[in-house]
Amino acid sequence: MALDFSLAQFLGRNAPTIDIVDVGAMSLGGQPDYHPLLKSGVARVIGFEPVQAECDKLNAMAGKNHKYLPHFIGDGTERTFHLCNMSMTSSLYEPDSAFLSRFTQLEELTRVVSKEQVKTRRLDDIPEITNIDLLKIDIQGAELDAFKGAQRLLKDAVCVYTEVEFLPMYKNQPLFAEVDAHLRGLGFLLHTFPDGLSGRTFKPVQSVQGPYQPLRQIIWADAIYVKHFMHLEQLSPEKLLKLAIIAHDLCKSYDLVNLVLRVYDKVTGKSLWKPYMTRITGGDPGAPPAYID
């Protein structure tokens, strides 16, 4: 199978620019989750990181078509920002220290060192954002607030890459069930947990694989949502191509790309599905089933 290629590059001049909005863009030393889209050269990024020092770092490292702003993204209300000893665990929600202390290496990384009253900004109200194709968001429990402040922009998005929590690490935070219901209401379906499920052991037990590894208790995960695959005909041809590129280059969801390109060919009269399937199967796309390893 010839799967190690970029669909964006495969499409060449037909590849559209993908607008990425990154909420909670703090760099943890590695590449961003959407790096495959950056590598293919089709991405334009507007990011938000409210910790000014971290935002300055991002702008210092920013590539072409990247901009980072120090806004607190939410539902537009005034909130209390809890800065923690590890910047990445800071949140608009207060950490539940008693709850976190039950687990190995959670409370120790989520201790509040200062509080600040802040005015949150709705994504729908930020003039620098004219379109979202992919919303990547990780703001420690405040994701649902940000979704509620982006109702207009999310109507045209094709993918949401979000952190979700299954247990309340922060007081009164919305959990996975609430986030999932809201995104489904906006026309998205859960597609995958790209990195699996994450958690911790209950103290004092530790996994032989290290203090950051769970046994059975899951607590959080990254989740990828895509527009409902039964309503793909409602997307414009350009949005269909964007979803196909994200599904291939980012998610490696070749079966989903198959569905998207079939619809694209149907609504445009073009022929992208057959060359794509020939490329990934190395043979005749019309000879089912196509087995992908």
pLDDT-based confidence at residue 33 (cuts at 50, 70, 90): very high
Cβ(273)–Cβ(262) under 8 Å? yes
Q: Could you tell me the residue ranges of all domains in the chain?
A: 16-236
Joined tokens for residue 100: 């976190």
CB 123 within 8 A of CB 146: yes
Average pLDDT over every residue of 137-149: 97
> Could you tell me the pLDDT band of residue 286, with boundaries at 50, 70 and 90?
low
Mean of all residue pLDDT scores within the chain:
93
| N-terminal to C-terminal alpha carbon distance within the chain | 8
Please report the pLDDT score of residue 3 as a whole number.
Answer: 79
**pLDDT of 247 strictly over 60:** yes
Pairwise CA distance, residues 124 & 121, whole Å: 9
Are the C-beta atoms of residues 107 and 100 closer than 8 Å to each other?
Answer: yes
Write down the pLDDT at residue 4: 85
pLDDT of residue 64: 83
pLDDT for the residue 283: 72
Backbone region of residue 243 per phi and psi (left: phi > 0; alpha: psi in -120 to 50; beta: other values): alpha
Question: How confident is the model at residue 293, as a pLDDT?
Answer: 47
Asked if pLDDT for residue 288 goes beyond 90, the answer is no
Asked whether the predicted pLDDT for residue 196 surpasses 60, the reply is yes
Three-class DSSP category at 263: helix
- Cis ω before 285 (30° cut-off from 0): no
Is the model's pLDDT at 151 over the cut of 60? yes
Q: Is the pTM of this model over 0.85?
A: yes
Q: Facing residues of 95 across strands?
A: 170
Residue 212 has pLDDT above 70, yes or no: yes
What's the pLDDT band for 289 if we cut at 50, 70, 90? low
Peptide bond before residue 204 is cis, with ω within 30 degrees of 0: yes
Comparing 16-25, 66-75, 203-212, the range with the smallest average pLDDT is 203-212
In 150-202 the beta strands, taken as DSSP E runs, fall at 159-165, 188-192, 197-199
Query: 16-236 architecture in CATH?
Result: 3-Layer(aba) Sandwich (3.40)
Q: Which pLDDT belongs to residue 180?
A: 98
pLDDT tens column, 56-102: 999 998 888 899 999 999 999 999 999 999 989 999 999 999 999 99
If pLDDT is split at 50, 70 and 90, which confidence band does 274 have?
very high
Q: Is residue 253 pLDDT above 70, yes or no?
A: yes
Cα torsion 285, 256, 157, 61: sign: negative
